[in-house]
A and B are shown apart, each in its own frame.
Chain A
Amino acid sequence: MRTRELYIAAFALLALMGASHAQAQSPYGIGRSATPAEIAGWNIDIDRDGNNLPPGSGSVSHGREVFDQQCAACHGAKGEGGIGDQLVGGQGTLATPKPVRTVGSYWPYAPTLFDYIRRAMPQNAPQSLSNDDVYAVSGYILNLNRLLPADATLDARTLSAIKMPNRNMFVSDPRPDVKNPACMTGC
């Protein structure tokens, strides 16, 4: 009897420890586990170093075809802009009264181009291009900006290796950067 009570007490203590451990893990027990396949299907983030870039590749020359079909209507035949942003040119203008912010003049990281085109472009059918087409059209836009040779083929490794001209021009937020003396009279 005494032994049995001890067993019960020990079991209760173990159950309590188990419960409190589970509580530390998931306080409310809400939601279900996400599987690696589910995460892989949704995680389309590419960071500035190119991590998570998918397999595949595309040539600048194929990129030109993709661009003509999918992009030129809004961004212009040579990326000069239209309904959509200007994508090409503008280098050397950022410190002038008429800055032209393009992929070539402003974007700090090349892999962001793949990330953005895949997730959001073309505007009428985002996430419709194959990874090969996204590499190709990214390569073509970089080529138009003289950041990639015309005979190049872009893949995860070569895209990650590209150094964008404006990459060192971003600084952290120093605000508050102005001080109004809050004059009340005779201002």
Chain B
Amino acid sequence: MFGLEIWIAGVMLISLIIYMLTGGADFGGGIWDLFATGKRAKSQRDLITHALAPIWEANHVWLIVIIVMLFAAFPVAFATIGTALHIPLTLMLFGIVLRGTAFVFRTYDDQSETTHLRWSRVFAIASIITPIMLGVTLGAVASGTIHVNVETGHVDTDFISSWLTPFPFAIGFFTLALCGLIAAVYLTLETDDPELQEDFRMRALIGAFSVGLMAGISFLLSAEGAPSIRRGLGNSVWSIPFHILTGTVSILAILAIWRRQFHLARVLVPIQVVLIILGWGFAQYPYLVSPNLTFSNTAAPNSVLRPILIIVVIGVIILVPAFWYLYAVFKGKSRPDTVPEK
């Protein structure tokens, strides 16, 4: 029914959703590491470390999957984004490198308070820069300011003006808020200590309100910052019921956090994130990099797309049980010490 490129685009969107729900939570862990406060600051940091350590590297691979699919299936779009958004992507890479390395260095460096705290700071700040820059990139791609000649591949850009505007940064902070919310909600269930749980409940509420706030700001800015997205969000047949659904789930999620129904929140918040990203995906369709590049006019030929989809199917068959096992081992009920011995 759809062309193969739409299937690939769907796989990329699903990968992005999973990356937000898993890798995004890891970045959110970094945010709450920076804002660890009060007399339980150390316990908060330790909890975050325990939660991340065994899984962050596997979660990180989703980003690589997205980028590889982008350049394999939509090479001109990849080249265009790499050219026009060189600066935010480079900043994001710095964030990725420092986040990952600071996290392991902190585990294996000498365990004096000052060294530990210094690596914590690097880890936390990098965890904040990375999702902001990821969001800025996605916002700029949606903004309709990156013009490219489809025939020649020539990108008309000054390398700055397509991303250094309010709308991409609104999306950047929107992404950051989502990461914070997801992480805090997960962390409420990573501990049996009611006081720690309460700490992360507070943080989940802050995250939820920030998400709401940034969603509103982004929507307002989209009128000027991303008109085609705004049209997609506002005028389609599906859009109004979809917004109502997203809004309802978001409010129910806040209620669940408020009423300490953490298991319920643990289900509702991911649904909220899925709906937000799907809504954006649908609004952007059929543009990959608006206004010139659509999924169809940048797609590689079917001889390329078919083997990639076959690899995806094989990947699902292998990876679903592997991931299930990873999470079952480390995210199950009883959770003794997961920090390696020094």
Partners in one complex: no
Q: Hey, which bits of chain B sit against chain A, CB under 8 A?
A: none
